[in-house]
Amino acid sequence: MKTVREITDLKDKKVFLRVDLDLAVSDGEITESFRAEKQKETLDYLVKNGAKVVMVAHISDVESFSELIPQLHILLGYEIGFIKDVDSIASYLDSYSVPGLLDNIRLNEGEEKNDPEFSKRLASNFDIYVNNAFATCHRDHASISGVPSIIPSYAGFVIQEEVAQLEKSVAAPADGKLIIIGGAKASTKIPVIKNLLDKSEAILLGGVVANDFLKERGQDMGSSMVDEDSAELLKGIDINDPRLILPTDFIVFDNKILDIGDKTMKDYIDRISRAKMIIWNGPMGLFENPVFAKGTNEIIMAMANSSAYKIVGGGDSISALDKTGLLSKFDFVSIGGGAMLAFLAGEEMPGLKALEYNA
C-alpha cells in the first residue's frame, strides 16, 4: 500500500480525497467532531504540496453537506467550496483553488452499487485518488473501491495509522493479550472472536454478546436481550473453550441482564491488570443508564490504570470512554467501528484491497 508521502509531485495535481465526515449532527449543529479533526493532517499535506483537492464523503445524519460548510470551514481550518453534484466537479477544479467538498456521495445511485460507469465519471475529473476514510473501507462502493481501480491511488495518514495499529495488535504475541468484547450487534463481533481466539490469551465477554454465549450454554436468560440466531452466529466456535471468559454474576432488572456483577467485575479487573496488550470493543452493559454503567466504567478505569498497550474502537465504547474523561489513557482510538471489526475479523476489505492492487 502506497501512502500520500510517496506521491512524487503534487503540484497542481487534481486529487480525489475520500474522507470520513460521517459526523453526528443534531439540529444543524455538528455535535461530534473527532472524525473531521482526524482528516486535517492528510488535507494539510495535500494542500501544502500544491494539490487541488476535492473531498468526497457520505453523511448519514443529514441529507446534504450544504448547511454544514461554515462549521467544516472552522473544523478543517480551510475555506471549503461546496460542489453540488458530480457534473460540477470539472468546472470547480478549473475555477477555484480552495479545497472543495462534493455533496453527500450516497445521493448518487451508483455509489453504493459500485457502478463502474459512475466510478468512471468520478475518476475522469482527477489525476490521483487518496483514501483517508478507514471507517468505510469494508464497503464495496464506487468512492471506496471503484475509483481507485481506475486512477493511481494512495492511502492517507488515517488509513496508514489504522492499518499499522490494528496489524500490530493482531500480530502481538498471544501471551498477555486480552480481547474485551461487549455491546450488541453480535453478528459483527463474533467473527472477531473467531479470528482472535487462537491469537490471544483470553477473550472477556460482556453485553448482549455474552448473553448469546450464555444462552447457547443452556442458561435461562429470562427476558434478557439475546440474538434469535445465536446458534447460527456461534457455529464454528467451541463455546466451552477455556480462553472464553463469560460473566458469572449479573445486575438484573425486570428479569433482564443489564450489566455484569461485582464478582465478574473483580475477575475482569484482575485480568486487565496483568495484561500486556488489550483490544476493547463494546460496553459491558446498558451503560447509557448510569444505574447499569458500573461494569463498563470499572473496566475502563482498570484499563486506564493498566500499563498494557491499549486499543479501543466502536461508537458506543468511545462515547462511554469519553464520558469518563479517560480517552487519552488509550494508546490508539480507532475511528473504524464496523471497519475495525472487519479488520480484526480478518475479513478482506474492498477499500484496502483496492489500494494494494493499484500500488
Show the DSSP H helices in the chain as ranges. 34-48, 69-76, 89-95, 109-113, 116-123, 157-171, 186-196, 207-216, 230-233, 262-274, 294-305, 315-324, 338-344, 350-357
DSSP state of 144: I
**286 lines the binding site for ligand ADP (CB under 6 A):** yes
Of 24-32, 57-65, 237-245, 314-322: span binding ligand ADP (CB under 6 A): 314-322
Contacting residue, 216, 276, 315, 327, with ligand ADP by CB under 6 A:
315
Binder among 257, 311, 335, 344 for ligand ADP (CB under 6 A)? 257
Is residue 95 left, alpha or beta, with left meaning phi > 0 and alpha meaning psi from -120 to 50? alpha
C-alpha cell at 155: 492511502
Looking at the DSSP assignment, which residues form a beta bridge with residue 177? 277
With CB under 5 to 8 Å by kind, the binding choice for 257 among ligand ADP, Mg ion, none is ligand ADP
Give the CB-nearest residue to Mg ion: 316
| CB nearer ligand ADP, residue 152 or residue 315 | 315
Single residue of 81, 110, 314, 351 touching ligand ADP by CB under 6 A: 314
- Minimum distance between the CB of residue 189 and Mg ion, rounded to whole angstroms? 10
Residue 326, phi then psi, degrees to nearest 5: -110, 15
Please identify which residue in the block is written with the cell numbers 461546496. 82
Per CB under 6 A, 142 contacts ligand ADP: no
Site string for Mg ion, 316-335 (x = CB under 5 A): x-------------------
152 binds Mg ion (CB under 5 A): no
CA distance linking residue 121 with residue 108, whole number of Å? 12
Rounded Cα–Cα distance for residues 231 and 234 (Å): 5
Q: Are 50 and 97 in contact (CB under 8 A)?
A: no
- Residue 147 or residue 340: which is nearer to Mg ion going by CB? 340
Backbone torsions φ then ψ of 12, nearest 5 degrees: 60, 10
Per CB under 6 A, the list member of 151, 184, 192, 355 interacting with ligand ADP is 184
Shortest separation between residue 337's beta carbon and Mg ion, angstroms:
7
Q: Which residues pair with 155 in a beta bridge?
A: 3, 131
Helices 262-274 & 294-305 angle (0-180, nearest 10): 20
**From 97-105, 107-115, 311-319, 345-353, span contacting ligand ADP (CB under 6 A):** 311-319
CB of 252 to ligand ADP, least distance (A): 10
Q: How many CB atoms lie within 10 A of CB 86?
A: 20
Q: How far is the CB of 191 from ligand ADP (least distance, A)?
A: 13
Span interacting with ligand ADP, options 25-33, 120-128, 167-175, 180-188, rule CB under 6 A: 180-188
Residue 94 CB, nearest approach to ligand ADP (Å): 42
315 is a site residue for Mg ion (CB under 5 A): yes
Q: Does 298 bind ligand ADP (CB under 6 A)?
A: no
145: DSSP letter: I
Rounded-to-integer distance, Cα 33 and Cα 259, Å: 30
Single-letter amino acid, residue 202: A
- Name the residues that contact Mg ion, by CB under 5 A: 315-316
- Name the residues that contact ligand ADP, by CB under 6 A: 183-185, 207-208, 225, 257-258, 281-283, 285-288, 314-317
